[in-house]
Structure 1
Amino acid sequence: METIVIILPLIAGGVTLIAVVGLSLIARWYALHNVTSETTVPAIARGTIDPWAFTDQQRGLIALLPKSLRRTFTVAGFATPNAQVKFVAIHALILVIAVTCCSWLAMSFNSSSTAIFLAGCMGAVIGWWIPFSWLEWRVTKRRIEIGSEFPVMLDLLQISLQGGMSLPTAWETVAKTLESASDAIAQEMRWINLEVGFGVRWGESLMAATERTGVTQFRSLGSLLEQTERFGTGMSLMIQVLCESMRYEEIQVLEERAHQASVKLMIPLVVLMLPATILLILGPMVLMMLDVFKRTTAD
């Protein structure tokens, strides 16, 4: 009973604090959700690109987060402040659940107050780590998905340009085509198309896409489009050359990983199979020698 009296105020205080923060973020999300479209249009129309910029209406608790964390949100696909607020609110909820469950489990075993406090701290660590580990997994998964589908996008873009389409029309057509195959790259293509519609140059928009996704192929495509516009070279042919170079680089990366895999396999072979092999070879010999020593001692 004394343990419960000690630990319950700590749990109640932590839950209350996190609940207040979560409710504030949810309220902020509703405020952002109801903002008119004129105020939610970013600074793209003015020619400035900042993937992590916030308008005056969007400044709140989410704007107090570190810029590196907001960049991670953006690379993971949570580019809008609404999505970032949702993630922070869910993170707070998971943290509360983890702390409560670990503390309750410790209390159910009639543990001391110190053990219950340590269990609550362990739950806080688990509740803090799970969402961020999932976020890192999503960043890696989204980056790999966009990088693997990028040559396919270039092939479709080249075919559309050879068919007589203009670059904006071909870009929009390819984005619609890739929606069923890869929503990540289709989402980025729609965002780039929106920026170009506001008057941003292709090179600047693709550079911003590199910052949002961490995929350097967008930067290469932006440089190529700027060169074709400056020197008047054939866009379709240049895209084909870029696509072939990207596929060649991808093959080189796969070959490098294949060579590294053989080296990495040496670790489990040495750690697991070598002791078993030594035991299998030397085990019978050791048993025979022990048997001989026992007989000699008996004699």
Structure 2
Amino acid sequence: MIEFATNNWILRALILLVIFGIVAAVVLFISSATSRRMRVSRELAALGGEGGATSSETLTRQRTEGAWARIVNRVESAGLNLSDTAETEITKQLRAAGFISPSAPRIYTLVRLIMLFVLPGLFVGLSLLKAEPPSLLTLYLGAMTLAALGIYLPNIFIRAKAEGRRKEILNGFPDCLDLMLVCIEAGLGLEATLDRVGREMANTHPLISQMLSETTLLMRAGASREDSLRKLGENASVDEIRSFATLLIQSDKLGTSLSTTLRVYSAEMRESRRLRAEEKAHRLPVLLSIPLVAFMLPTMIGVIILPAVVSIIRELLPAL
């Protein structure tokens, strides 16, 4: 076994990789434990010092800040700027997908950079480990394809997540409007209505519940009703929710009945949901025709033609 390992370079490389992985894991564990102890010591020192209350990085921010945000801060402190020229557009896309953290655009850029280099590197490394490595042209084309995928896969993921979030909000918002209408007609104010509906929909529609709860907290924190409702439309990143927030603001300013407004808008939202369901139902025959034509039609043609082909082979081939 030892002679085989010494003669086979692939096995030697795998053994070295395993040893390197074990050593790296041990070093990472020790360094993370040490850094955690040092961070706790700094937090305690900051709390005990006179300037702890005015520190720019509070304990609440450190607890809520994720690991990716800390990695981004370390990368930028090392000298690599992760800000993008189209950061406003990226922020809108990430907000529509539900990523509202201030560091989300920089994390998005960092993930794209990592995938840009990691995917081609893995392809080239695995290709070179083969007994017969591919040609340079194959390596180049494969690496370029994977690099392009590494750039566009995060964008595709964000767009798909934003579309799923939008559909979930649109499908659950008519139920939210009905509950709000019941609360308004029962005599509750707008702030109490938003709070009650947000708590009631925590299990059925958690996204809508989170948005309504944030709006309620903004109102209780002292923000005006108009600013809180506009913030609701911005956080949702859905046109229908923006229209709903604008409608509530106008009703509040003009003094019209909120129950009438909610009843009309709820009927419109339910009609829109019904039309979307009918559209999906009408698209099903077209979508089903693709697998039917691709898989069943060739099989049917083969079954129909096969007896004739067998007869021709039996009768014409002997004569020829």
Fold agreement, TM-score > 0.5: yes
Q: How many residues align?
A: 242
Kept in 1, the 8 Å contact 2:82–2:109? The answer is: no
How far apart are the structure 2 equivalents of 1:187 and 1:64? Answer: 31
Q: 1:295 to 1:61 in 2, by over 3 A?
A: closer
Q: 1:295 to 1:121 in 2, by over 3 A?
A: closer
2:288 to 265, 277, 284: 265
How far apart are the structure 1 equivalents of 2:316 and 2:98? Answer: 70
1:89 aligned onto 2:110: yes
How far apart are the structure 1 equivalents of 2:223 and 2:264? Answer: 28
1:129 partner SS: helix
Q: 1:114 to 1:290 in 2, by over 3 A?
A: closer
Q: 1:218 to 1:74 in 2, by over 3 A?
A: same
| Greater RCO (CA < 8 Å, at least 6 residues apart) | 1
Identity %: 26
How far apart are the structure 1 equivalents of 2:300 and 2:228? Answer: 59
Gaps of 5+ in 2: 1-54, 60-80
How far apart are the structure 2 equivalents of 1:177 and 1:274? Answer: 51
Report the equivalent of 1:102: 123
2:128 partner SS: helix
1:77 to 86, 90, 98: 98
Letter in 1 for 2:306: G
How far apart are the structure 2 equivalents of 1:127 and 1:146? Answer: 30
1:160 to 179, 183, 186: 183
Report the equivalent of 1:246: 269
2:103 partner SS: helix
Q: CA deviation at 1:73?
A: 0.9
1:178 to 201, 213, 218: 201
Report the equivalent of 2:166: 143
Report the equivalent of 2:192: 169
Report the equivalent of 1:199: 223
Q: CA deviation at 1:283?
A: 1.5
Q: CA deviation at 1:119?
A: 3.5
How far apart are the structure 2 equivalents of 1:141 and 1:240? Answer: 26
1:218 partner SS: helix
Q: CA deviation at 1:264?
A: 2.8
Kept in 1, the 8 Å contact 2:178–2:263? The answer is: yes
How far apart are the structure 1 equivalents of 2:95 and 2:208? Answer: 14
How far apart are the structure 1 equivalents of 2:255 and 2:86? Answer: 45
1:284 to 287, 307, 311: 307
Q: Once the two structures are superposed, what CA deviation does each residue of 1:142-196 show, in whole Å capped at 9, x if it has no partner?
A: 1111111111211222222233221012112222333333332233223433554
Structure 1-normalised TM-score? 0.69
* Aligned 1:124-139 pairs, distance under 5 A: 124-139=147-162
Q: 1:118 to 1:263 in 2, by over 3 A?
A: closer
Q: Once the two structures are superposed, what CA deviation does each residue of 1:111-168 show, in whole Å capped at 9, x if it has no partner?
A: 4444434333233223223322221221111111111111121122222223322101
1:81 partner SS: coil
Letter in 2 for 1:290: I
Kept in 1, the 8 Å contact 2:179–2:197? The answer is: yes
1:216 aligned onto 2:239: yes
Report the equivalent of 1:236: 259
Q: 1:264 to 1:123 in 2, by over 3 A?
A: closer
Q: 1:117 to 1:267 in 2, by over 3 A?
A: closer
1:265 partner SS: helix
Kept in 2, the 8 Å contact 1:72–1:139? The answer is: yes
Q: Once the two structures are superposed, what CA deviation does each residue of 1:175-219 show, in whole Å capped at 9, x if it has no partner?
A: 2333333332233223433554553443x6545544443422213
Gaps of 5+ in 1: 1-32, 38-59
How far apart are the structure 1 equivalents of 2:318 and 2:170? Answer: 70
How far apart are the structure 1 equivalents of 2:138 and 2:317? Answer: 52
Kept in 1, the 8 Å contact 2:183–2:193? The answer is: yes
Report the equivalent of 2:41: none
How far apart are the structure 1 equivalents of 2:109 and 2:138? Answer: 29
Q: CA deviation at 1:286?
A: 2.2
Letter in 2 for 1:265: L
How far apart are the structure 2 equivalents of 1:237 and 1:265? Answer: 43
- After superposition, the CA RMSD in angstroms is 2.9
How far apart are the structure 2 equivalents of 1:62 and 1:205? Answer: 29
How far apart are the structure 2 equivalents of 1:112 and 1:272? Answer: 36
Q: 1:169 to 1:250 in 2, by over 3 A?
A: same
Kept in 2, the 8 Å contact 1:91–1:131? The answer is: yes
Kept in 2, the 8 Å contact 1:192–1:206? The answer is: yes
